[in-house]
Amino acid sequence: MTEQQPPVEPNAAGQPAGSWLTRNLKVLSGVSLLQDAASELLYPILPIFLTTVLGAPAAVVGAVEGIAEGTAALSKVVSGRVADRFRARPMIGLGYGLAALGKVAIAAATVWPIVLAGRSVDRLGKGIRGAPRDALIATGVPETAKGRAFGFHRAMDTAGAVIGPLIGLAGYELLHHHIRPLLVIAVVPAVASAILVVAVREPPRRRHRTAGWHPRHLPSRYWRVVGVLALFSLVNFPDALLLLRLHEIGFSVPAVIGAYVTYNAVYAVLSYPAGVVADRLSPRTVFGAGLILFALAYTGLGLTHSHTAAWVLLAAYGGFTAFTDGVGKAWISGLLARHEQGTGQGLFQGLSGLAILVAGLWAGFAWGHDGTLPLLVSGIAAAVLAGWLLTGPIRHLGNLRLRRR
């Protein structure tokens, strides 16, 4: 008589135990794809829109992006804690709704302060949704699959970042090189992403587990890793300045958009494999390799005026983002218990965002006529940090592998 196998019990996300591709992961990946298509449609043309259409100096580009990221950072710290105590889905919906509203403001802008306001509202939405979304993604995913889960989400998100600029490039040519209509087009997928949030399912929340809990109770390994990653963010200034660098060395608007598509295509293709490798080796190793690519890209872009070299370096920069974005979130997630996910992710993303705010401000004001100095400073600093991260004592950053419970 054949022995019957016991039924496979579902996890908290409603999937069979051991399955990492949960319903919420798929839905939230689709939401992110649409939102990133909207964001990245306008992102590569925004520096050019600010400087050539609205007449703002390069320092304003850095300030706009830095302040916008700072707004997101502050809201991430709060939203992560709220997500651990209350329901996440309303916060995710609010975040994507605000992002759509911010894009409407940018499309209507006639002076750069309105762009600043629109970007700040957009990034406020990003800050509100980020930690609750990532906490919901982590729910129900086995510890041994955190890297591939976040890698899959980043791959889908970045697929939108390929689609968006391609739509922008086609629209730029069809609309006789007018930039403003492209900003209007970006509103459509942004609204669609907010609507899709209704398909997210959230498991019941056991609030008593977080009663009386404070962020200082997060494990010491978590704080050491967050400290290192936030330190790196002080030299990781907003990508808008990299696109401005391309424009300054002679890239046309279509070429800037095309180079940005190349960056995002590399990012999308490598994100999932990077997550798989992080699960098998360690997030720390993959993140350190990403910093090496960052150092090569920034240093190279600071020194070259060759368009061919710039394309290659921007592709290498896509490898850096693939090796660090989802991997960093998986690294953090592996150091936290389930009831700490929102707070921990929010603090990590918030502190990193505040550091990027500082990076955007100092890089914008140090930009000069072509950005060589800040690019070289950031590239060298990242190389030093990569060396320490890959060779430093393990005890400072916890185990190399994601923590198993």
pTM for the whole structure: 0.73
Domains of the chain: 23-200+217-397 (1.20.1250.20)
Please give the pLDDT value at position 220. 86
Backbone angles phi, psi at 302, to 5 degrees: -75, -25
Please give the pLDDT value at position 98. 93
Question: Given a cut of 60, is residue 5 above it in pLDDT?
Answer: no
Give which of 403, 385, 365, 387 is closest to 65, Cα–Cα: 365
Give which of 380, 367, 64, 362 is closest to 244, Cα–Cα: 367
- Separation of alpha carbons 315 and 162, rounded Å: 13
> 386: buried, middle or exposed (CB in 10 Å: 19+, 13-18, 0-12)?
buried
140-166 pLDDT, tens digit per residue, is 788 778 888 888 998 898 888 889 888
pLDDT band at 396 (very low <50, low <70, confident <90, very high): low
Range from 70-79, 155-164, 336-345 that averages highest in pLDDT: 155-164
* Across 312-341, average pLDDT: 89
Q: Transcribe 59-86 into DSSP letters.
A: HHHHHHHHHHHHHHHHHHHHHHHHHHHS
- Separation of alpha carbons 17 and 2, rounded Å: 23
* Across 9-33, average pLDDT: 71
Q: How many of the other CB atoms lie within 10 Å of CB of 30?
A: 17
Question: Given a cut of 80, is residue 184 above it in pLDDT?
Answer: yes
Percent of the chain with pLDDT strictly greater than 90: 27
